[in-house]
Amino acid sequence: MDFRCRWSPQGTEKDRTVDEPSEKEIRSWAATPGVLALLLMVTIGSASGHAQAVSTATTSLTAAPMTQADKAAMADQVRREYLHAWNGYRKYAWGHDALKPLSHEPFDWYSHSLLMTPVDGLDTMVLMGLKPQADEARKLIDTQLNFNQDMYVKDFEITIRLMGGLLSSYELTGDKRLLALAEDLGTRMLPMFNSPTGMPYEYVNLRTGAVRGVNSNPAEVGSMLIEYGVLARLTGKPIYYDKAKRAVVALYQRQSAIGLVGSGINVETDQWTDKTAGIQGGIDSYYEYLLKAAILFHDPDCERMWRHSLVAINKYLADQRPNGLWYGQADMNTGARTTTYYGALDAFFPAVLALSNDVDRAARLQNSSYAMWNLAGVEPDQLNYVTMTITNPEYPLRPEIIESTYYLYTYTHDPKYLAMGKTYLEALMKYCRTNDGYAALADVRSKKKSDAMESYFFAETLKYLYLLYAPPSTLNFKSVIFNTEAHPMQRSFIVAAGIPKKGK
Ligand code: DMJ
């Protein structure tokens, strides 16, 4: 396969063959019966996590259509919950990366704050119309965020949360300081790609450019292309796209003969350190970015890599069981099933399938994700889908199941997805809400909380929940591609130093 590693600004509509559904397709999906009964057999796992079924419940989701007023009330509620969590951060952790919602202590990832929560949460505030809060957060970022720090940072997290947040907020607000910060960050991070293979080291020192961490994985190698591609567009400097694309291609070229990738790879020796294939965390956004980069940049190489990967994913990882469609793990070389785990992180995949025009499969997988949520009233981080027992009981406020619900509602207009969203919001408010924020759950069975409120709760969880109910004019789904942290990037081509086309 011949890969063009240089990004070309010449992409046109006709280059694009992976895209959103046509109006006609949307109308035909929307015509499916509006009231469905979703019967999901769920077996509640035991507290020890062993395969001991303690009870069996039937969860029935009937989806009556929601009125515009109902939807507006839901959107308002989500907005209020965002404000509640934001006010907690503002009161106890202002200027830090995050709030610890039980102890009311601030939390910083590294020796200096990188303002994770404000940067990650800013575009959600803009979309929600929280203008005073957005302006205050932007002022904090504009005046206090300083990347000139002698500390090693995790490339993946900094890219998806900070680079993604700065770029999308720039596109939404036109605040040039945000773009300048993104470019400064991008320049400081470029040395991460200086490995013999072109795949990024795991950590880079923001001041010195020194790197460390040779053991990486597909998600961390492959989830740079949206952010660095948009940075290339906005600055007119293709180097950002070229480096990120070279890394993805290097990873893709090391896939097995049957088209699967493993869970761990050494970026210097290019040897796989873990040959477990799947769509789970560690691999997830590698696949997501192949598809999304194909759409966002009209990149035919990414489209080919996505199409080829999808065949192998559906052949070896998809697992149709009596209790529904799941995706498990397999040996990357033989395709033999190794384990049957599915979890909160895997729940991103219906969104990707829907974006790839396989709405039927997306809907079936979403039903399974919803069964997972209902197992204990909040989704566990992982279960064994054969025994329906919980193998990791945490719920760190993850967004993926809500993200897929939003995509499926957008594509089908089936009100059952609005009902699913209501289930999530009610559970979040019942089990995770604290006096000054929202807390992760250490165990979804006991509902015991833990002292963490990740910035993605602001960037993703509440954004997707809000967009599910907000008027479509809030954000034109067809005009953006979300990065893996839910930061919307404009699909329309924007020239360097140009004026963002969409304002808020
Ligand atoms: C987020 O940071 C991103 O969605 C990432 O791709 C996976 N994990 C978290 C949320 O669960």
**pLDDT score at 29:** 26
Residue closest by Cα to atom 8 of ligand 1: 345
> CATH says 147-339 is which class?
mainly alpha
CA distance 449 to 438: 9
Contact between residue 104 and residue 92 where contact means Cβ atoms under 8 Å apart: yes
Q: Is 456 in the pocket of ligand 1 (CB under 6 A)?
A: yes
Nearest Cα neighbor of 417 from 64, 56, 3 is: 64
Q: Is 398 in the pocket of ligand 1 (CB under 6 A)?
A: yes
**pLDDT score at 43:** 31
Contact between residue 251 and residue 199 where contact means Cβ atoms under 8 Å apart: yes
**pLDDT score at 495:** 39
Going from the Cα of 399 to the center of ligand 1, the distance in angstroms, rounded, reads: 8
Going from the Cα of 1 to the center of ligand 1, the distance in angstroms, rounded, reads: 31
Q: How many CB atoms lie within 10 A of CB 120?
A: 29
Q: Is 405 in the pocket of ligand 1 (CB under 6 A)?
A: no
Residue closest by Cα to atom 10 of ligand 1: 398
Going from the Cα of 116 to the center of ligand 1, the distance in angstroms, rounded, reads: 14
Domain boundaries, the chain: 18-111+361-472, 147-339
Contact between residue 80 and residue 127 where contact means Cβ atoms under 8 Å apart: no
**pLDDT score at 62:** 64
Q: Is 285 in the pocket of ligand 1 (CB under 6 A)?
A: yes
Nearest Cα neighbor of 401 from 375, 373, 429 is: 373
104-124 pLDDT tens trace: 999 999 999 999 999 999 999
Q: Is 485 in the pocket of ligand 1 (CB under 6 A)?
A: yes
Q: Is 484 in the pocket of ligand 1 (CB under 6 A)?
A: yes
**pLDDT score at 23:** 36
Going from the Cα of 484 to the center of ligand 1, the distance in angstroms, rounded, reads: 6
Contact between residue 106 and residue 88 where contact means Cβ atoms under 8 Å apart: no
85-97 pLDDT tens trace: 999 999 999 999 9
Going from the Cα of 162 to the center of ligand 1, the distance in angstroms, rounded, reads: 13
What atom in ligand 1 is closest to the CA of residue 348? 4
Mutate to test the pocket of ligand 1, among 162, 227, 345, 454 (most ligand atoms within 8 A of CB): 345
CA distance 64 to 144: 48
Q: Is 483 in the pocket of ligand 1 (CB under 6 A)?
A: no
Q: What mean pLDDT, rounded, does the chain reach?
A: 89
Spell out, as residue ranges, where the chain has pLDDT lower than 50. Answer: 2-60, 494-504
The token pair at 170 is 């720039």
CA distance 129 to 301: 38
**pLDDT score at 63:** 82
Residue closest by Cα to atom 6 of ligand 1: 484
Secondary structure string (H, E, C) spanning 308-337: HHHHHHHHHHEEEECCEEEECCEECCCCCE
**pTM above the 0.85 mark?**
yes
